[in-house]
A and B are shown apart, each in its own frame.
Chain A
């Protein structure tokens, strides 16, 4: 029972830490990592939920299936988030470059 509780508490703490980072930090990569930490926390609680005390012998298989599905979902979502973050970075950088060009041009003509 203590072990289950320990795993569950760890999972909750991970979830809370991830949430905190997601809100506080503005860097896209940090946000994606924070979401991953959060999902890991949830999965940890799920795995702990599979344990059945009192020597029932069997481990509940349903949470395991849920964790597996959750991991698949989490991987694909992370891939999409990374792709979008890269796109944001590229497009915003292009903007920056163009702005710099436009700022540079009048100076050149003045000289």
Chain B
């Protein structure tokens, strides 16, 4: 009966197997499709909570699938960063599940396209569950080839989800998205092959011990990084992101923007700072930081120029992803743990704030039938909760206290200044100012009610579409106040950090 004890590592398969089963059931049963998905999302959150409980009381764990030991078998492992990403995915995933229910119910009410929306809903749920399986697998896997499989799983389901909307623009964007993802996965796979030929193992822990400055390993690092950067949409490789994210259905945009790009980034970060650490040079770190800095400014400028709300939010993702890469050159001084804290914070705050923003954009689009920024005047009168959620999410994106974005940017700023690399600090400040401009530009339209505004009786929007956005926005805002909790989880099993803060974190 050991498998049912709370300490058993076998709990690790719960977040992977549950959404997979739910996805299959969603395909099979047409009727209770939402109930199945909601149950899976709730159970997923519960499973992640159990894993966090395990981490806090028993430390990081390894689970050898099917009893096969390394180097043959596939290993799953839990540690602080993985669990925090899982938790973010589970919470955002639950909110998206609720929002998607409201979204599809609202659209099906429209008699003209009811059949089309019903079909979209029918395909949305299984694909979303499959995507959740892939993401959870990505965060838990400890085997570079298994990671490739999860990457492909994510690519397939994400591209299908992006194509769901049925508009010609979204079809083309989804096709390009699939090709770019494929190119990224194949480049990553080529890197895996190089690494396997050089080291002969696939397990991340074993690879860490075998790391040396050999040409094969350096080539592997370059190939894997390029593949993952393509999927993460760092500056010169971001071309596919705005059309794919902005043309998808609203719940799909939320998933793609908040979760999918974080998956490949998380992997890249883990490779750079856990596996390949000995062979990373300072110039490589600076290169990544520079690309991140350009992404921040370029993405923000593009976001300011966009005429449509969804495109603005999509370009804001390009900009915000840059902050994650600014953290790279700041590692040499502070060591890895500090940087994990910054990056995880940034990822969590951005995931919550950006999903709230895309939900708002979707609700506004449904309410008005368009999302042209200059025609959004007076929407606050009809959708007060949604507009409030937009404002709070904007606070987190700009990095005003006490939001999670503020904590992340504050940590970035202080590391940049203490390591006397002031130019990164400059970029962070400029980026925040630009973010303020593009967020306020929309906000001013939201709140200004023109003189001749006709107060039409608002079409009732389902509460399921308004409250999840507000809840996520509030989480991203309050994350800054509860900042010690994620850091406490990160410190578990992390020897260096535990030495710095012996009695728990301040």
Interface residues, chain A, CB within 8 Å of chain B?
Answer: 15, 19, 22, 28, 31-32, 35, 38-39, 42, 45-46, 49, 62-63, 66, 69-70, 73, 76-77, 80-81, 84-85, 87-88, 91-92, 94-95
Pick from B72, B145, B179: contact of A66, CB under 8 Å: B145
B461 at the interface (CB under 8 A from A): no
Inter-chain contacts of A77 with B (CB < 8 A): 152, 155-156, 178, 182
Cβ of B163 and Cβ of A84 under 8 Å apart?
A: yes
Inter-chain contacts of B145 with A (CB < 8 A): 66, 69
Cβ of A35 and Cβ of B183 under 8 Å apart?
A: yes
Inter-chain contacts of B189 with A (CB < 8 A): 39, 42, 70
Pick from A22, A45, A88: contact of B172, CB under 8 Å: A88
B168 at the interface (CB under 8 A from A): yes
Inter-chain contacts of A73 with B (CB < 8 A): 149, 152
Given A49-B193, A87-B163, 18 more pairs with CB closer than 8 A: A35-B179, A35-B183, A39-B189, A42-B189, A42-B190, A42-B193, A45-B190, A49-B197, A63-B196, A73-B149, A77-B152, A80-B178, A84-B171, A84-B174, A87-B175, A91-B171, A92-B168, A92-B172
Q: Which residue of A lies closest to B151 (CB)?
A: A73
Pick from B72, B175, B202: contact of A84, CB under 8 Å: B175
The 7 nearest A-B residue pairs measured at CB: A91-B168, A84-B175, A73-B152, A88-B171, A87-B171, A49-B197, A45-B193
Pick from A32, A39, A81, A87: contact of B186, CB under 8 Å: A39
Q: Which residue of A lies closest to B167 (CB)?
A: A91
Q: Which residue of B lies closest to A38 (CB)?
A: B186
Q: How far is the CB of B436 from chain A (nearest CB, A)?
A: 38
Q: How far is the CB of A88 from chain B (nearest CB, A)?
A: 5
Inter-chain contacts of A69 with B (CB < 8 A): 145, 149
B469 at the interface (CB under 8 A from A): no
Cβ of B179 and Cβ of A22 under 8 Å apart?
A: yes
B159 at the interface (CB under 8 A from A): yes
Interface residues, chain B, CB within 8 Å of chain A?
Answer: 71-72, 145, 148-149, 152, 155-156, 159-160, 163, 167-168, 171-172, 174-175, 178-179, 182-183, 186, 189-190, 192-193, 196-197, 202
Cβ of B193 and Cβ of A84 under 8 Å apart?
A: no
Cβ of B175 and Cβ of A81 under 8 Å apart?
A: yes
Determine chain A's interface SS by DSSP, over half rule. Answer: helix
Inter-chain contacts of A35 with B (CB < 8 A): 179, 182-183, 186
Inter-chain contacts of A66 with B (CB < 8 A): 145, 192, 196
Q: Which residue of B lies closest to A52 (CB)?
A: B200
Cβ of A46 and Cβ of B175 under 8 Å apart?
A: no
Q: How far is the CB of B138 from chain A (nearest CB, A)?
A: 15
Give the CA-CA distance A32 to B179 in the complex, in Å: 8
Give the CA-CA distance A25 to B183 in the complex, in Å: 15
Inter-chain contacts of B171 with A (CB < 8 A): 84, 87-88, 91
The 10 sampled A-B contact pairs (Cβ below 8 Å) are A15-B190, A19-B183, A35-B182, A35-B186, A45-B193, A62-B72, A70-B148, A77-B178, A84-B163, A84-B174
A81-B182 CB under 8 A given contacts A66-B145, A87-B163: yes
Q: How far is the CB of B312 from chain A (nearest CB, A)?
A: 25
Inter-chain contacts of B186 with A (CB < 8 A): 15, 35, 38-39, 42
Cβ of B168 and Cβ of A88 under 8 Å apart?
A: yes
Give the CA-CA distance A31 to B202 in the complex, in Å: 30
Give the CA-CA distance A66 to B167 in the complex, in Å: 37
Q: Which residue of B lies closest to A39 (CB)?
A: B186
Pick from B160, B175, B190: contact of A85, CB under 8 Å: B175
Inter-chain contacts of A32 with B (CB < 8 A): 179
Pick from A28, A46, A94, A95: contact of B193, CB under 8 Å: A46
